[in-house]
């Protein structure tokens, strides 16, 4: 089976490619390498059945050619930055909305694609009033442009799948952590501690509390969700069933690097203790729908943080 993974040189994408290659599939990776790296694909790059195309999905050149003959498309390519200071509105539009539109236009122009898998985000819910938040929650009011762009992608995919006859699986991910991650709270804390092992700055009031998912559980959940998808458009939350606060994460990372006595200083943050504008202060996804299909994560949120911190520190 020919499979396309967009963003396959990135953090989650490369782990997915490793798994698909272990199944002896014909795997094509499309990535512009803006945040991903060919180093992430070092295990696969010389294997039979692996193919890499440097491609920017915000342009349409070559997409139809790559998609011809593909049965399943995993769309992971995106700008992952939530903070406004690290990604502009144009970045989110081009990489998270226009890229989805261009991909869907190419998908409908070939007759081979039968399933599209899209990694969305918990940020589509915004400041949910129901915790844990189920898939049926609404209305969804994202408070970041990243969340808004992911919700727009979901809507486009739902419309195209319904009109043009392919199945879609939309996975709203919690915060995914683990080996090969190059951004997010653990990477930020490790970089800060490398500069100053005696002090660690935490953005916000330290009480921000969210669900975390180890990348190995993320990959198992993606594959399980694909097998459990019966409807034309299927939506699942994918995360651990609990949450952990950012101060605990800071303490865990400090302990991992042997800086248990470092002084943790919370900045106080903005808008009621958020780390930055658009930061959802409390997020916990309901994963009952996934659990009811027989999937279960190996790690809870705190265990995922501990495991990921060790992986990233020992690189």
Catalytic residues: 146
136 burial via Cβ count (<10 Å: 0-12, 13-18, 19+): exposed
Structure tokens at 75: 């769309």
The rounded distance, in Å, linking the Cα atoms of 275 and 42 is: 35
For residue 55, report the phi and psi dihedrals to the nearest 5 degrees: -150, 135
CB 12 within 8 A of CB 36: no
What is the spatial distance between Cα 53 and Cα 30, in angstroms, rounded to a whole number? Answer: 5
Helix H or strand E segment including 169: strand 167-173
Q: Which residues pair with 169 in a beta bridge?
A: 117, 234
**What spatial distance separates the first Cα and last Cα of the chain, rounded to whole Å?**
33
Q: Which 8-state DSSP code applies to residue 274?
A: B
Kind and range of the H or E run holding 238: strand 233-238
CB atoms within 10 A of CB 61: 9
Spatial CA neighbour of 201 closest among 266, 246, 287:
266
């Amino acid at each position: 089976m020919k499979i396309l993974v967009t963003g396959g040189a990135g953090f989650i994408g490369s782990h997915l490619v490793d798994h698909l290659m272990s199944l002896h599939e014909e795997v094509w990776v499309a990535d512009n390498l803006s945040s991903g790296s060919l180093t992430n694909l070092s295990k696969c790059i010389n294997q039979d059945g692996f193919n890499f195309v440097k491609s920017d999905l915000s342009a349409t050149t070559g997409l139809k050619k790559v998609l011809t003959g593909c049965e399943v498309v995993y769309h992971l390519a995106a700008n992952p930055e939530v903070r406004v200071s690290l990604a502009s509105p144009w970045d989110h539009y081009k990489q998270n909305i226009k890229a989805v539109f261009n991909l869907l236009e190419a998908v409908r122009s070939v007759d081979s694609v039968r399933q599209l898998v899209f990694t969305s985000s918990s940020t589509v819910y915004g400041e949910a009033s129901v915790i844990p938040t189920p898939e049926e929650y609404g209305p969804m009011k994202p408070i970041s442009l990243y969340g808004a762009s992911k919700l727009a992608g979901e809507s486009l995919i739902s419309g195209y799948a319904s009109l043009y006859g392919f199945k879609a699986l939309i996975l709203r991910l919690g915060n995914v952590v683990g080996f090969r991650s190059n951004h997010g709270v653990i990477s930020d804390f490790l970089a800060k501690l490398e500069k100053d092992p005696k002090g660690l700055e935490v953005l916000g009031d330290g009480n921000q509390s969210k669900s975390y998912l180890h990348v190995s559980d993320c990959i198992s959940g993606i594959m399980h969700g694909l097998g459990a998808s019966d409807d034309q458009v299927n939506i699942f939350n994918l995360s651990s069933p609990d949450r952990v606060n950012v101060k605990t994460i800071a303490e865990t990372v400090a302990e991992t690097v042997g800086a248990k006595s470092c002084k943790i200083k919370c900045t106080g943050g903005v808008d009621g203790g958020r780390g930055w504008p658009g930061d959802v202060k409390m997020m916990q996804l309901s994963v009952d729908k996934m659990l009811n299909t027989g999937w279960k994560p190996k790690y809870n949120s705190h265990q995922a943080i501990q495991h990921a911190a060790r992986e990233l520190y020992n690189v």
